[in-house]
C-alpha cells in the first residue's frame, strides 16, 4: 500500500482551529495610535531612527494577549484573526470604508464605532506624510491614467508595506536577538569615522539596537503575562503549561533556542513581530524543515506526539494573522489572503536531498489543521524520494489546494541566470504566491504590480486606445494589418510603452518606501544589511529584484492565434469584420450572459462598483458628484448593438462561433502553444530591461492572485471569443474549460512556456475530480504526471481536488461548508468567504481525470 493516511489532531488543536473558523475579523486601532504618537514625538529625527522609535513604542505598549489552550503565544491583535492598521503607508481608504468595510463583498472586517473614532483621530496627523502620498507625487499623469484604465496596478505596496521576504530564522534560533545586538555593536566599533557614509551607517546600527532591545522587552512582557495567568489558573495541567510558556518567553528570542518548544516559540515571535513592524504581507517562513529539524533531533526529552502538536500549533497561529486592504485590492486578494509560504523538501546548499522527518511532520500538520495558512509548498527534483512525492500527493487529495509543487530543475538555473550563486539558488524558498528567492539574502519586491497582458492586447487592437482615450502609442488600426507579424510589431510597441510606465510606478513606490519607511527590525535579519550598514529598503540585501506579475497570457495567446488562423490562414474572417464584432461585444450587452442581448434599463451593483473604482483611481478621492454624473451618462448612453441577421443567427455571433472553434492553448498543439509562449516572452523580455533604485533587476512573473477575475472587468471582448468583462485565465493555466484533452496534454502546453524567463514565478492551476486520484493507482498517476510535467521544464503546479457539485452546494449553503478550503491562485482560502465571482471562476475550471 502506497497510501498511508493521516492521524487525527489532538483535542487542543481542534479547539484552536474552531476558534479561528468562528472568529469575526475586526479592525483594531492600537498600533495606529501608538505609531502616530511615536511619529509626533520624533519629528526632526532621521527616518530610520523614527522607524526604530515606532517599533520601540509599539513593542513596549501593544496589548499582550494569550489565548486559551495556546502553547505558542504572541498575538498581533486582541481578537483572533483580526488586523491592525499601519497609517504610515496609507490611511484615507480606511476612513472612507468605516461604514462599509463590514458589509463589502470581499474580506469584510468589523470596525466598532469607538475604533473608528480612535483611527480618525490618529489619521488627522497623516495627510501628505505617507509613503503612498510620496509615491503618487513621483508618478506622471500618463502612468496614473494607464493604471486607471486597468493596464496595471501597483496598489499592493502603494497602500501597504512590502513584505514578500524570508528572514534568517536559523540565525535567530542559534544566536537570538542578543546575538544580533552584539553583532551590530561590533560593526559600530569598526566604522571608519572618516567615511562619507559613516553618519547613515551609524544611524542604521543604532536603529537596529533600539528595535531589538524593544523586541526582547516585548517577549518578556509575554513571560510576565503567562506567569500572572499561571497564578490564577486552577487547572494544574494548564498551570504547568503557562509556567513553561513564561520560561520559554523569558529565554527566547533573546537567546538561542535550547529545546524544540523554544524553537517553535522563537519562530512565532519572529513571524508575528515582522507583521507588527509593518503591514507587509507574504512574510514567508521559507524552509521550515531545514532550520527547525536540528532542534527536534537534538531534543531528547520531547515525544514525537508533543512535537507534532507544537508544529500544529504553529500552523494555527499562522491563521491568526490577517490583513485588510482597500475594497478593490480585497477583491484581487479575495479570501483574507496573507500568503505565508512555508516550503519543505528540495536540495541542500551542496546539492543533496534535503528531505527529513520534519518535512513529513509539516505534511501531517497541514492534514491536521486544514486551514488556509501556511501556504504550504514542496520542492521537487530528480533526487526527491518517491515516498515524499506520494505523501505530498496524499495531502493534495485532501482537497485543501496544497501543497503547491515547485521544480528545482527550472528554478535553480532561473535564479542563477539572474545572478544568484549556485549555493544560494539551491537554498531557494517560495515567497507569497509562487515567487522563488534565496532566503534571508533577498529583497525581491515580488508581487510589485499586476500587469494585464490582455488589456495591452485590447489596446493594440484599438490603435493605442482604451475606450475613447488614447493612452498608448499610435500603432495602426486593426484592419490595416497586412499579416500577423504586423500585429506582433504593434503589440511589442504597446508592451514597451506600458512596461515603461509600470517600471516608473514601481520605482516611485520603491523610492517612497526607502525615504519614509525603512525597516530596521526586518533588515537586520537579511544578509548583508548589517555588513553593509544599510536597511533593506536602501539596498542592503545581497540580491535585489522587482517582480511585477502578468496575467491574461492564455487569453492573449489564443486571441493572437485566432487572428492568425481565421483571418490570415483560413480567411474565414476579415479584420474589418473582426473589429466590428469586437466593438459590438459579439452582439451581447456588456457584462451580460451570452443568452442575453437586450439593453439594460438600469445599472446593477457591479456597474456602480466599476464607476466608483475608476473615479477613485483617477481623482484620488471618492467624489459623489463625479459618480452621479457618470451614472447618468451611462444610463443615457445608446444601447448595445442589436443583431442584424436575426436574433438567433446574426453575423457577430457567427464570427464568435468561428473564433471559438479555433484550437486553444492547453491541448498540446505546438502551433497554438508557441504563440502563447511568444506573447508571454514579449512581456518578460521587456520587463527585464529595467533596474530598480536598489540596484537590482526587474524580473517578470506570470501569476494572478485572483486579479484575473477583478481585472477581467477592465477588458473588452477579445478575438478568442471571450465577452467583455469576463474573467481572464489564471496564471499560466489554459482558459477555463478549453483544455479538453486531459491533464497531461494541458501540462505539456503549459510546460512550453519559457518558465526560465519568468523567474519571478509562474502559476499553474489544475482541478481534479477526487475519484480520478483515488487509491494507490491514483497516487501513482498523480505523482507520474507531476514528474512528467517537471521533466518538460514546468516550474510550478497546484491542485484543487474537489467535486464541482460540492462547490455548487457550498455556494448555495455556505453555513454547512465553513471548513471547505480551496486553491484560489497562489494561495488557499475558505471557499465560503470568497466573492461569488471568484467562486464561479473556481467552479468553471476544467475538471481533469486520467
Q: Is 30 a catalytic residue?
A: no
Q: At what angle are helices 453-461 and 553-563 packed, to 10 degrees?
A: 30
Query: Under 8 Å CB-to-CB from 18, ≥6 apart: which residues?
Result: none
Q: Locate 623 and state its grid cell.
A: 467624489
The kind and range of the H/E element at 430 are strand 429-431
DSSP state for residue 567 in the 8-state scheme: I
Burial class from Cβ neighbours inside 10 Å (0-12, 13-18, 19+) for residue 777 reads exposed
C-alpha of 194 from chain center: 44
> Distance from CA of residue 594 to its chain's centroid?
32
C-alpha cell at 118: 480612535
Partners of 801 in beta bridges: 768
Rg (CA), the chain: 26
Catalytic position from the list 433, 506, 664, 684: 433
Distance CA 530, CA 528 (A): 6
Set of cell numbers at residue 774: 483515488
Within 13 A of 90's CA, how many CA atoms are on the CB side?
Answer: 24
Q: CB neighbours (10 Å) of residue 486? A: 14
In sequence order, the β-bridge partners of residue 582 are none
CB within 8 A of 404, min separation 6: which ones?
A: 375, 376, 377, 378, 430, 434, 796, 797, 798, 823, 826
Active-site pick, 435, 458, 688, 726: 435
**Residue 458 is placed in which grid cell?**
485590447
Q: Is 286 exposed, middle or buried (0-12, 13-18, 19+ CB in 10 A)?
A: buried
Q: Are 659 and 566 spatial neighbours (Cβ–Cβ below 8 Å)?
A: yes
Element at 323 (helix H, strand E): none
Place of cell 486531459: 742
CA distances from 31 to 118, 172, 181, 625 (A): 11, 25, 25, 35
The residue count of the chain comes to 850
CB under 8 Å to 273, separation ≥6 — which residues?
A: 59, 74, 215, 218, 521
Residue 821 cell numbers, joined: 478550503
Q: Is 435 a catalytic residue?
A: yes
Distance CA 637, CA 632 (A): 9
Q: Which residues contact 119 (CB under 8 A, 6 or more apart)?
A: 27, 29, 32, 33, 85, 87, 91, 94, 95, 98, 111
The single-letter DSSP state of residue 72 is: S
> What amino acid positions are annotated as catalytic residues?
433, 435
Amino acid at each position: 500500500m502506497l497510501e498511508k493516511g493521516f492521524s487525527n489532531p489532538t483535542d487542543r488543536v481542534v479547539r484552536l482551529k474552531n476558534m479561528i473558523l468562528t472568529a469575526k475579523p475586526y479592525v483594531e486601532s492600537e498600533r495606529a495610535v501608538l505609531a502616530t504618537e511615536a511619529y509626533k514625538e520624533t519629528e526632526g529625527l532621521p527616518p530610520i531612527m523614527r522607524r526604530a522609535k515606532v517599533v520601540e513604542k509599539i513593542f513596549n505598549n501593544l496589548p499582550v494577549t494569550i489565548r486559551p489552550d495556546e502553547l505558542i503565544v504572541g498575538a498581533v491583535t486582541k481578537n483572533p484573526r483580526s488586523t491592525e492598521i499601519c497609517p504610515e503607508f496609507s490611511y484615507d481608504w480606511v476612513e472612507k470604508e468605516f461604514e462599509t468595510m463590514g458589509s463589502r463583498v470581499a474580506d469584510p472586517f468589523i470596525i466598532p464605532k469607538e475604533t473608528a473614532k480612535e483611527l480618525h483621530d490618529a489619521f488627522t496627523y497623516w495627510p501628505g506624510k505617507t509613503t503612498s502620498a510620496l509615491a503618487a507625487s513621483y508618478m506622471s499623469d500618463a502612468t496614473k491614467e494607464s493604471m486607471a484604465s486597468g493596464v496595471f496596478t501597483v496598489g499592493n505596496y502603494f497602500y501597504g508595506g512590502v513584505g514578500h521576504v524570508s528572514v534568517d530564522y536559523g540565525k535567530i534560533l542559534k544566536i537570538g536577538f542578543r546575538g544580533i545586538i552584539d553583532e551590530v555593536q561590533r560593526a559600530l566599533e569598526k566604522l571608519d569615522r572618516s567615511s562619507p557614509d559613516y553618519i547613515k551607517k551609524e544611524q542604521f546600527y543604532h536603529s537596529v539596537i533600539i528595535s531589538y532591545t524593544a523586541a526582547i522587552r516585548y517577549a518578556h512582557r509575554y513571560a510576565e503575562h503567562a506567569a500572572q495567568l499561571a497564578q490564577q489558573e486552577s487547572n494544574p495541567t494548564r498551570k504547568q503549561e503557562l509556567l513553561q510558556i513564561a520560561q520559554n518567553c523569558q529565554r527566547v528570542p533573546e537567546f538561542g533556542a535550547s529545546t524544540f518548544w523554544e524553537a517553535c516559540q522563537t519562530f512565532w515571535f519572529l513571524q508575528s513581530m515582522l507583521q507588527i513592524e509593518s503591514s507587509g504581507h507574504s512574510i514567508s517562513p521559507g524552509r521550515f524543515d531545514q532550520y527547525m529539524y536540528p532542534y527536534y533531533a537534538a531534543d531528547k526529552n520531547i515525544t514525537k506526539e508533543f512535537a507534532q502538536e507544537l508544529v500544529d500549533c504553529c500552523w494555527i497561529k499562522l491563521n491568526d494573522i490577517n490583513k485588510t486592504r482597500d475594497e478593490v485590492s480585497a477583491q484581487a486578494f479575495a479570501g483574507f489572503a496573507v500568503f505565508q509560504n512555508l516550503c519543505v523538501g528540495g536540495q541542500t546548499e551542496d546539492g543533496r536531498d534535503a528531505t527529513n522527518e520534519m518535512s513529513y511532520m509539516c505534511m501531517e500538520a497541514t492534514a491536521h489543521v486544514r486551514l488556509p495558512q501556511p501556504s504550504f509548498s514542496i520542492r521537487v527534483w530528480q533526487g526527491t524520494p518517491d515516498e515524499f512525492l506520494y505523501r505530498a500527493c496524499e495531502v493534495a487529495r485532501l482537497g485543501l489546494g496544497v501543497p503547491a509543487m515547485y521544480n528545482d530543475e527550472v528554478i535553480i538555473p532561473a535564479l542563477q541566470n539572474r545572478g544568484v550563486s549556485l549555493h544560494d539558488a539551491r537554498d531557494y524558498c517560495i515567497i507569497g504566491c509562487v515567487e522563488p528567492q534565496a532566503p534571508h539574502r533577498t529583497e525581491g519586491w515580488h508581487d510589485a504590480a499586476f500587469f494585464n497582458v490582455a488589456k495591452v492586447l485590447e489596446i493594440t487592437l484599438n490603435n493605442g486606445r482604451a475606450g475613447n482615450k488614447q493612452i498608448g502609442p499610435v500603432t495602426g488600426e486593426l484592419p490595416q494589418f497586412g499579416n500577423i507579424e504586423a500585429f506582433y510589431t504593434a503589440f511589442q510597441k504597446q508592451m514597451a510603452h506600458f512596461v515603461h510606465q509600470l517600471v516608473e510606478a514601481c520605482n516611485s513606490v520603491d523610492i517612497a518606501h526607502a525615504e519614509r519607511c525603512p525597516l530596521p527590525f526586518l533588515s537586520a535579519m537579511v544578509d548583508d544589511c548589517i555588513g553593509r550598514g544599510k536597511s533593506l529598503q536602501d539596498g542592503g540585501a545581497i540580491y535585489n529584484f522587482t517582480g511585477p506579475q502578468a496575467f491574461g497570457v492564455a487569453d492573449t495567446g489564443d486571441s493572437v492565434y485566432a487572428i492568425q488562423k481565421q483571418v490570415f490562414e483560413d480567411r474565414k474572417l476579415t479584420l474589418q469584420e473582426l473589429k466590428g464584432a469586437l466593438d459590438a461585444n459579439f452582439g451581447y450587452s456588456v457584462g451580460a450572459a451570452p443568452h442575453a442581448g437586450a439593453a439594460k434599463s438600469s445599472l446593477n451593483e457591479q456597474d456602480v462598483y466599476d464607476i466608483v473604482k475608476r473615479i477613485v483611481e483617477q481623482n484620488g478621492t471618492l467624489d459623489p458628484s463625479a459618480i452621479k454624473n457618470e451614472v447618468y451618462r451611462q444610463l443615457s448612453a445608446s444601447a448595445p448593438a442589436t443583431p442584424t441577421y436575426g436574433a438567433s443567427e446574426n453575423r457577430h455571433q457567427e464570427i464568435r462561433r468561428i473564433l471559438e472553434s479555433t484550437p486553444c492553448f492547453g491541448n498540446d498543439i505546438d502551433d497554438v502553444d508557441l504563440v502563447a509562449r511568444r506573447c508571454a516572452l514579449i512581456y518578460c523580455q521587456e520587463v527585464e530591461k529595467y533596474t530598480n533604485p536598489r540596484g537590482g533587476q526587474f524580473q517578470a512573473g506570470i501569476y494572478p492572485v485572483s486579479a484575473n477575475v477583478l481585472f477581467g472587468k477592465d477588458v473588452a471582448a477579445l478575438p478568442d471569443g471571450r465577452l467583455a468583462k469576463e474573467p481572464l485565465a489564471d496564471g499560466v493555466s489554459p482558459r477555463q474549460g478549453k483544455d479538453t484533452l486531459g491533464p497531461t496534454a494541458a501540462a505539456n502546453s503549459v510546460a512550453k512556456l519559457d518558465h526560465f524567463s519568468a523567474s519571478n514565478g509562474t502559476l499553474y492551476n489544475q482541478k481534479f475530480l477526487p475519484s480520478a486520484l483515488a487509491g494507490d493507482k491514483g497516487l501513482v498517476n498523480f505523482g507520474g504526471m507531476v514528474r512528467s510535467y517537471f521533466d518538460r521544464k514546468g516550474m510550478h503546479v497546484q491542485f484543487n481536488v474537489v467535486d464541482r457539485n460540492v462547490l455548487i452546494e457550498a455556494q448555495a449553503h455556505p453555513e454547512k461548508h465553513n471548513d471547505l478550503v480551496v486553491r484560489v491562485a497562489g494561495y488557499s482560502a475558505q471557499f465560503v468567504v470568497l466573492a461569488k465571482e471568484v467562486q464561479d471562476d473556481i467552479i468553471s475550471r476544467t475538471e481533469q481525470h486520467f
